Amino acid sequence: MQCFKFIKVMMFLFNLIIFLCGAALLAVGIWVSVDGTSFLKIFGPLSSSAMQFVNVGYFLIAAGAVLFVLGFLGCYGAHSESKCALMMFFVILLILFIAELAAAVVALVYTTMAEQFLTLLVVPAIKKDYGSQTEFTQVWNSTMDGLKCCGFNNYTDFNGSHFVEENKVFPSYCCGKPSNSTEGPCTEEKARETHVQLAAMIVSMYLYCNLK
């Protein structure tokens, strides 16, 4: 019973905060949509960034309205123990969750498509131009040095490339070494070992961070 009362009070307070935030967003959204001029005058030197804020006035109204209704239903349902209000609160949250999940799936699909598209463009360019065109080579050297990576995917991007065919070695970055390193040449075997070691380090750290 005590647990029920505690959860009830916490839900009321939590949704009260949501209700107040929604009311504030709704008020600001209506203000900047109806009277954006006075809003800009008040902010003065921040007028340029404020203008961008005015442009999303309707978005603020929509977001504020959703939070306002959601907070009200949560507060009312928790205070009066109304099953109808609590069910509506649950349904709205469920709709928002489904929308967020759908947006995440769409973003993942388009991200994967973009990555595949870039792979089709970049990898052939690496094979053809790396080591033969100075500017292209310098850009990739800076990129690999800054990101501590090798090619676009991994060292296999350089298989059959102009650079490997001519020099019989891989870029030193593929072995985790800077271009001015005095260590031995970066062979395919060394590049493969470095790649596996990095993958093992990432996996082990991931498991460590997620262990209870």
Summarize pLDDT for 150-205 with one digit per residue, the tens: 888 888 889 888 899 888 899 888 888 776 666 778 888 888 877 565 555 555 56
Instruction: Give one DSSP letter per residue of 27-60, joined into a string.
Output: HHHHHHHH-HHHHHHHHGGGHHHHHHHHHTHHHH
90 in any annotated domain: no
Predicted TM-score (pTM) of the model is 0.44
Domain final residue, candidates 57, 81, 105: 81
Asked which of 42, 62, 81 is the last residue of a domain, the reply is 81
CA 147 to the chain's CA centroid:
18
- Distance between CA atoms of 21 and 76, rounded to whole angstroms? 16
The answer to whether residue 63 is domain-embedded is yes
In a domain? residue 41: yes
In this prediction, the residues of the chain whose per-residue pLDDT falls under 50 are: 45-47, 50, 212
Is residue 178 one of the residues assigned to a domain? Answer: yes
Q: Which domain holds residue 60?
A: 2-81
Asked if the structure places residue 145 within a domain, the reply is: yes
Whether residue 180 is contained in a domain is answered as yes
Q: What is the pLDDT of residue 47?
A: 47
Closest-CA residue to 194 (of 175, 177, 181):
175
**What is the tally of structural domains in the chain?**
2
Among 81, 100, 125, give the residue marking a domain's end.
81
76 and 139 housed in the same domain: no
Task: With respect to residue 100, please indicate whether it lies within any of the assigned structural domains.
Answer: no
**What per-residue confidence (pLDDT) applies to 37?**
66
Token readout for 111 is 């991200």
Let me know if residue 117 belongs to a domain.
no
Q: Residue 180: its pLDDT value, please?
A: 62
pLDDT of residue 53: 53
Q: Return d(Cα 42, Cα 52) in angstroms, integer.
A: 15
